Amino acid sequence: MEVFDAAELWSREQLEQTQLTRLRSTVAQARKCAFYRERLDAAGISSGSLHSLDDLRRIPFTTKQDLRSQYPTGLLCVPRSQIIRMHCSSGTTGSPVAICHTQNDINAWGDLMARCMYMVGVRRDDVFQNMSGYGLFTGGLGIHYGAERLGCMTIPAGAGNSRRQIKLARDFGTTVAHILPSYALILGEHLRQRGEDPRTFPLRIALVGAEPYTEEFRRRIEGLFEMKAYNSYGLSEMNGPGVAFECLAQDGMHIWEDAYIAEIVDPESGQPVPEGEVGELVMTCLCRQGMPILRYRTRDLTRFLPGTCACGRQHRRMDRILGRADDMFIIKGVNIYPMQIEQVIMTFGEVGQNYLILLENDGIGDVMRVQIEIRDEIFVEDMRALQNLQKAIAQRLRDEILITPRVELVQSNSLERGEGKAVRVRDMRNKK
């Protein structure tokens, strides 16, 4: 197998040995800031007291709140003069956190990203168009550097503006794109409306991530453009993209264990969940000097996949992200994740590219409405056909989530959509 980095082929033993060595040096590095020094002292931890990987569990968690409390530079572990870049999280769930990188950090991140892209077949002859927002968001420069590292001709197109995306891709023959899942369908629809078949688009590979999406959604993106779409996972606190990535087998994302230690814990107790069960992903970075972060509670829910991957890599795989713990909403006593809804509605061929879940209170109780965009050719059908579709979707949703939402079919492009990550739920229950 051709790989970008020999570490991809390491055995479990090699990986775990390296993890322990790097964990020790990361702990030593983290102790250079007062925050971690105090935390680690209180827990009685120094780099010398870590004898095996199990000792990782003695290290206290770091939460998003911790990072916010240390904003902007409380967690710096090198002199300010060694920092060459900073990034912020998107702030999807509150005020953003800032992460500062040294030159080494940036190089290591670029290498990880290049490794991911190479793994799915991206080569120097490819033309790579980054349709993700630039600026502070790590999906911009993070992936950009990976693509350049591979030697691809890299087009920093930025987010949105479908007309320009299409022109650039056609003019330069873009073969690989980085794209938000929610935007991929919108771009395809834009092409169709111009009378162009998205399958004639030159794309052959898409790197798709930054927000949750279901397998059904992926298959749609692939079918629409007749290309392969690979799931890409990362978060700013752990650099950004390049943390875990699907290989050609498309059967879970390999977590790069030479650069990270992943754990999955019960979100309530913080204890490890039984192997293969869903819990909260906790990540430790092993290759960062500027701002090392130990046992970070990502709030992302997933599970480790059992067994080894068909590709032969021994780096553990995780399942697609079910959602963030914060995405869960409770209605009529039932816990629901938006992805459960997406999974159902995207199996209907009549459904278009966007949907929105609205939670309201009608004075009597909580009401859940699901607005679903329907493909244009379906929308012109007679009332009865639409009503039947509406009923069928509501029925299937009931089977999945045990309550019956109000399903509303709306015209394509009628739901509002910004350029960033899709907002799937609008909770208006406590707003008057």
Binding residues (CB under 6 A) for ligand ADP: these are 89-93, 137-138, 209-212, 231-236, 298, 300, 321, 324
Task: Report the residue number, 45 or 261, with the smaller CB distance to ligand ADP.
Answer: 261
Residue 228 contacts which entry, Zn ion, ligand ADP, none (Cβ below 5-8 A, type-dependent):
none
Task: Tell me if 311 contacts Zn ion by CB under 5 A.
Answer: yes
Contact 115, 5 (CB under 8 A): yes
Beta bridge partners of 408: 371
* Residue 316 binds: one of Zn ion, ligand ADP, none (C-beta under 5 to 8 A by kind): none
The window from 191-199, 241-249, 258-266, 382-390 that contacts Zn ion (CB under 5 A) reads: 241-249
Minimum distance, C-beta of residue 23 to Zn ion, in the bound complex (Å): 24
Cβ pair 174, 202 in contact under 8 A? yes
Closest to ligand ADP by CB, 246 or 373: 246
- If the CB atoms of residues 1 and 392 are measured against Zn ion, the closer one turns out to be 1
Please check whether residue 99 is in contact with residue 237, taking contact to mean a CB–CB distance below 8 angstroms. yes
300 versus 350: smaller Cβ distance to ligand ADP:
300
12 vs 167, beta carbon nearer Zn ion: 12
**How far is the C-alpha of 417 from the C-alpha of 414, rounded, in Å?**
9
What minimum distance in Å lies between the beta carbon of 367 and ligand ADP? 27
Q: Which does 324 bind (CB under 5 to 8 A by kind): Zn ion, ligand ADP, none?
A: ligand ADP
- Minimum CB separation of residue 193 from ligand ADP in Å reads 28
Supply the minimum distance, in Å, between the C-beta of residue 351 and Zn ion. Answer: 31
Question: Is the CB of 96 or the CB of 188 nearer to ligand ADP?
Answer: 96
Min dist CB 139 to ligand ADP, Å, is 7
Q: Binding partner of residue 165 among ligand ADP, Zn ion, none, CB under 5 to 8 Å per kind? A: none
* Least distance to Zn ion, CB of residue 117, Å: 15
Residue of 40, 83, 159, 247 that binds Zn ion (CB under 5 A): 247
CB 359 within 8 A of CB 428: yes
Q: In the numeric block, which tokens belong to residue 315?
A: 């780096």
Q: Which does 309 bind (CB under 5 to 8 A by kind): ligand ADP, Zn ion, none?
A: Zn ion
Q: Does 157 bind Zn ion (CB under 5 A)?
A: no
Judge whether 405 and 371 are in contact, CB under 8 Å: no
Contact flag: residue 249 with Zn ion (CB under 5 A): yes
Distance between CA atoms of residues 258 and 179, nearest Å: 26
Nearer to ligand ADP, 29 or 236 (CB): 236
Q: How far is CA 322 from the centre of its chain?
A: 10
247 binds, among ligand ADP, Zn ion, none (CB under 5 to 8 A by kind): Zn ion
Q: Under a CB-based contact definition with an 8 Å cutoff, are residues 97 and 64 in contact?
A: yes
Q: Which does 405 bind (CB under 5 to 8 A by kind): Zn ion, ligand ADP, none?
A: none
Query: Minimum distance from CB of 254 to Zn ion (Å)?
Result: 6
Least distance to ligand ADP from the beta carbon of 21, Å?
Answer: 27
Nearest approach, Cβ of residue 94 and ligand ADP (Å): 8
- The two most distant CA atoms of the chain are separated, in Å, by 73
Between 133 and 393, CB nearer to ligand ADP: 133
Give the range of 197-205, 244-252, 260-268, 277-285 binding Zn ion by CB under 5 A.
244-252
State the binding partner of 162 from ligand ADP, Zn ion, none, CB within 5 to 8 A by kind: none
Residue by residue, what is the 3-state secondary structure of 218-283? HHHHHHHHCCEEEEEEECHHHCCEEEEEECCCCCCEEECCCCEEEEEECCCCCCECCCCCCEEEEE
Decide: is 255 part of the binding site for Zn ion (CB under 5 A). Answer: no
Report, in Å, the least distance between residue 290 CB and ligand ADP: 16
- CA 94 to CA 64: how far, in whole Å? 10
Which residue, 168 or 423, is less far from ligand ADP as judged by CB? 423
- Assess contact for 244 and 237: CB atoms under 8 A: no
CA 123/CA 141 separation, integer angstroms = 19
Q: Which residues bind Zn ion (CB under 5 A)?
A: 247, 249, 309, 311, 313
